[in-house]
Structure 1
Amino acid sequence: MLKIRKVLIDSYPENMSFLFRGADGYGPEHFRALRKIEITHHNVSILATLAITDDATMVGPDEIGLGEQAFRRLGLAEGAVVSIAQATPPRSLEAVRRKITGDTLTANEITSIITDVAAYRYSPMEIGAFLVACASFMTTDETLALTRAMADVGNRLDWRAELVVDKHCVGGIPGNRTSMIVVPIVAAHGLIIPKTSSRAITSPSGTADTMEVLANVDLTLEQMQAVVIREKAVLAWGGRVNLSPADDVLISVERPLRIDTFEQMVASILSKKLSAGSTHLVIDIPVGPTAKVRTHREAIRLRKMFEFVAQKVGLTIEVVLTDGSQPVGNGIGPVLEARDVMAVLQNAANAPNDLRERSLFLAGRILEFDPALKGGAGYDLAVDLLTSGRAFDAMARLIEAQGPQTQPFGLGAFRHDVVANSPGKVASIDCHLIARIARLAGAPMDKGAGIDLLHKVGSTVQQGETLYRIYAQSQDGLDFARDLAVESSGYGITP
């Protein structure tokens, strides 16, 4: 029996616990057997990975330390008395081992795995094994089962409306922050659009990362519901409201492994939309030589997978293929992307036109879900909502409703200009490489890190002219990004 002590260590997503070596007469050999323990207080329990400390100021002999995640999930006050025991491995791990050997799993087996993942019974290594096994081979039926299981574990929102719209881009294109423009346009028309977003997986920023520059995105379920009722929309991080919680756990492991297969992508996106209560959805698949989806053939395969799963789970879906040949907008990274978004919403003269036009196109497709709207009228209505200022007003109200960001985020103080080695015309920009450079600079964790593109495809440049500027909030981040940019700028320039 040990008393709880909160330890200020962030081990997201894993539950971590800490014991003092020799506590209650235990020796090191006992602890080696307790790699993962079950911590119990009456009918409340969690599983946690165990670490041993020799620092008695951190955890006393009669205490058990809980990292921030474990302490919050157990939900008890400091000093509460708990018991510990060696944790029994989840039974669903047997299904993971079968998947590793190439077997096809049943829907029940996948549900068991996802239930255990959402309950934090898996270690990151065990989650990684499951993800890699699925990345090797996954059937369409397994993808459908994974989608349903992820949606069923966690909260399901019900807006009590026949039409709840949303949009999602599969990613792979830096700067493609259309959601923050589409959502206020659609909300200004009066359609319900509760946009929840995950943190960036392999990109320099996600919608939640960028919106966080302007407003609070870490909303409780009650706060999110209140915002949607008031403003018809929300732009929030989905992790806090427990929508498809297994997805956020999987993403935390996918991110460092840079795993993002089509099957896992479909399950992740559609499970989140189901959980958020969406009924109608537009999926944007950018296609380009350095995008996440490289060829038209790949895009068609992904589109069919989205359509199959969406039809089975009851979502009305439209999948559109867009140009993914180069980054969208000028800014890459949370602060720079927020700048571009607000420039478009404010109808500023220097607003990036490609971001504006792509957003209007997508907003138009969503607006046409409205049965009261004539077919083909969506784009013109989107233009009117934007140019009239009603979309900007909707965004301003949304920021106020979610809570304006009180912490000012500025551009990184460490900067480096990447210049053209020869004169000519910009013929291509490598999306994947530009995203890697921005991430090495510190984006999205460092909000002010990223890349400001000064030239896009078609621009004429002189030798020595700046192609883009790297921003970082540390010298190390700048050095990492600059070293990669020196190897290759990511720009193809033809004479």
Structure 2
Amino acid sequence: MILAPERMAPLEPLRIGIDTRQELIIYLHADCPVCRSEGFSALSRVLVSSNGQHIIATLNIVTGDLVSSGQIGLSEPAWKRLALKPDAHIRVSHPAPVQSLSYVRAKVFGHALDQQQLQSIIEDIVDGRYADVHVAAFITACGADNLSLQEITALTRAMIQAGDTLDWELPMVIDKHCVGGLPGNRTSPIVVSILTACGLTVPKTSSRAITSPAGTADTMEVLTNVCLNRGQMKDIVTRVGGCLAWGGSVRLSPADDLLIQVERALDIDSEGQLVASVLSKKIAAGATHVLIDIPVGPSAKVRSRASADKLADTFRQVAAELGLSIRLLCTDGSQPIGCGIGPALEALDVLAVLQSKPEAPLDLRNRACLVAGAMLEMADVTAPGLGEAMAREKLESGEAWDKFQAICMAQGGLKRPPVAPYRYNLTARDAGIVSAIDNRLLSKIAKLAGAPVDPAAGVHIPVKLGDRIEPNEILLSIHAESSGELNYAVGYLEQHINVVQLQPLSEPGP
């Protein structure tokens, strides 16, 4: 790392209080001597140094009175990364060239990248050397089918090596992941509760949402604390057999969380990066056996069985190269699972299933038992064909609910999900049979309503394919935490009213 030259006068740090997500931003006045002497212009990438700590940040030039010529303003992420104290002084200079950007350019022009090149890219992303625009270029260059099997394997290794790893010193640590694209489908909290009730060790780490209205970490966060450090995770898993934590809080595959932030903005989740993301997190979390759920449906992320088979084959080959035991499960992705779409609404579905309430979504219950049963068989807890029945028994007996409560209490307590104050109901004008539900439109509406940033926001959809609907019956409800976001989502819904399609009832015979 090249230090800022000592000849430059130090600057007084000023905490601006601007949230720039993961982007490191600094603010200098146009009259600042450093800007003039170093030739900095707006959006320059600069090396910022203080007390042995260094970051590379994007420069914004200020012409007003936000900062004086002797000050440097820092966004919240930049301030926290430098761990600045009020009496600190800062020097700013040109950074050394980021060599790995040449590898990104090579990938843009179709060249294959090797292990060293991908490792260099990932390390520079984790070290904060890339601006969001550079990360976006890398993600786009690797999109579609632009990564070979060898590159996906190398990318997975690079993402593992750039962060911390957990070792549970056990012959079997089991985990699962759903590739997504199916609204609702919040099976993980239920599955973890069932498996730990059966004596298995399940240190579940999950991501926040990428292109969906909620990830498992977002949903669990409305119920309990998910920001656990390594010591807390180990203690909780030792005491209760499992946890439901956000992977970003324990720096497992930290590049993944940085990539996810940009993937969410681009609404991109390509196959190669999907495989590297999933497997890097599972291996870093110490899993030895992993089940991958691949929903298949016309408006799911994976739209055909042929695409599912191709994705499954990639998972198998990369997992084999990395020594991970894996099982693939292709499931029905033709419609949402559960009724809630969004963190709090999905949490309510999870609680209803675990507590065996009469109103609990039957499809979420069935799917969770299917996945848990397959994992019980994978772990040799029961014979093939008997896993699903064992999973149902753990639910019906209340043992899974007891485990879930124990996990939540160990993580900091069980909270009540928030309720949105603003709602809009879409009702049927005529009678009919539900013939199609567009998963992508539902996800879009839930995100426009505020999910997952607003935890109570989302969509509640009580109908399923094949249901008979009467006039004025509710097809879906939009939930929002503000009237503006509700209006935004309703406006979009009015332009896409076919999100739930009804087939007219047959005319009665003579």
Q: CA contact under 8 A between 2:187 and 2:367: conserved in structure 1?
A: yes
Q: Per-residue deviation at 1:28?
A: 9.8
Q: CA contact under 8 A between 2:422 and 2:479: conserved in structure 1?
A: yes
Deviates more, 1:431-440 or 1:13-22: 13-22
1:103 corresponds in structure 2 to: 111
1:313 corresponds in structure 2 to: 322
2:164 corresponds in structure 1 to: 155
* 1:65 is the counterpart of 2:56: no
Give the root-mean-square deviation of aligned CA atoms. Answer: 1.8
1:457 corresponds in structure 2 to: 465
Written as runs of structure 1 = structure 2, the 5 A alignment for 1:102-181 is 102-136=110-144, 137-181=146-190
Partner-residue secondary structure (3-state), 2:90: strand
Q: Given residue 330 of structure 2, which amino acid in structure 1 is its aligned partner?
A: L
1:74 corresponds in structure 2 to: 82
Measure the CA separation in 1 of the matches of 2:111 and 2:449. Answer: 41
| Match of residue 212, structure 2, among 203, 211, 214 | 203
2:508 corresponds in structure 1 to: none
Q: Given residue 32 of structure 1, which amino acid in structure 2 is its aligned partner?
A: S
Q: Per-residue deviation at 1:472?
A: 1.0
Count how many residue pairs are aligned between Structure 1 and Structure 2: 493
Question: CA offsets per residue over residues 105-132 of structure 1, 9 Å max, x none?
Answer: 1121111111111111111111111111
Q: Given residue 456 of structure 2, which amino acid in structure 1 is its aligned partner?
A: G
1:275 corresponds in structure 2 to: 284
Deviates more, 1:211-220 or 1:339-348: 211-220
Q: Per-residue deviation at 1:374?
A: 3.1
Q: Given residue 139 of structure 1, which amino acid in structure 2 is its aligned partner?
A: S
Partner-residue secondary structure (3-state), 2:59: strand
Q: CA contact under 8 A between 2:345 and 2:456: conserved in structure 1?
A: yes
1:90 corresponds in structure 2 to: 98
Measure the CA separation in 2 of the matches of 1:12 and 1:18. Answer: 16
Q: CA contact under 8 A between 1:365 and 1:378: conserved in structure 2?
A: yes
1:183 corresponds in structure 2 to: 192
Q: CA contact under 8 A between 2:223 and 2:417: conserved in structure 1?
A: no
* 1:402 is the counterpart of 2:411: yes
Question: CA offsets per residue over residues 426-472 of structure 1, 9 Å max, x none?
Answer: 01111111111111111111111111112111111123321111111
Q: CA contact under 8 A between 1:165 and 1:281: conserved in structure 2?
A: yes
Structure 2 vs 1, CA of residues 251 and 411 (structure 1 numbering), >3 Å: closer, same or farther? same
1:326 corresponds in structure 2 to: 335
Partner-residue secondary structure (3-state), 2:330: strand
Question: CA offsets per residue over residues 11-32 of structure 1, 9 Å max, x none?
Answer: 1211112223323474499331
Q: CA contact under 8 A between 2:42 and 2:61: conserved in structure 1?
A: no
Written as runs of structure 1 = structure 2, the 5 A alignment for 1:205-284 is 205-284=214-293
Q: Given residue 289 of structure 1, which amino acid in structure 2 is its aligned partner?
A: P
* 1:51 is the counterpart of 2:51: no
TM-score by length of 2: 0.93
1:336 corresponds in structure 2 to: 345
Measure the CA separation in 2 of the matches of 1:438 and 1:383. Answer: 31
Q: Given residue 270 of structure 1, which amino acid in structure 2 is its aligned partner?
A: L
Q: Per-residue deviation at 1:101?
A: 0.8
Q: Given residue 402 of structure 2, which amino acid in structure 1 is its aligned partner?
A: D
Q: Given residue 87 of structure 1, which amino acid in structure 2 is its aligned partner?
A: P
Measure the CA separation in 1 of the matches of 2:413 and 2:211. Answer: 27
Structure 1 segments unaligned to the other structure (5+ residues) = none
Measure the CA separation in 1 of the matches of 2:16 and 2:249. Answer: 21
Measure the CA separation in 2 of the matches of 1:372 and 1:472. Answer: 43
| Match of residue 474, structure 1, among 444, 459, 482 | 482
Deviates more, 1:480-489 or 1:229-238: 480-489
Measure the CA separation in 2 of the matches of 1:19 and 1:374. Answer: 66
Q: Identity percentage over the alignment? A: 45
Measure the CA separation in 1 of the matches of 2:280 and 2:124. Answer: 17
Measure the CA separation in 1 of the matches of 2:336 and 2:219. Answer: 16
Structure 2 vs 1, CA of residues 94 and 337 (structure 1 numbering), >3 Å: closer, same or farther? same
Q: CA contact under 8 A between 1:4 and 1:64: conserved in structure 2?
A: yes
Q: Per-residue deviation at 1:474?
A: 1.4
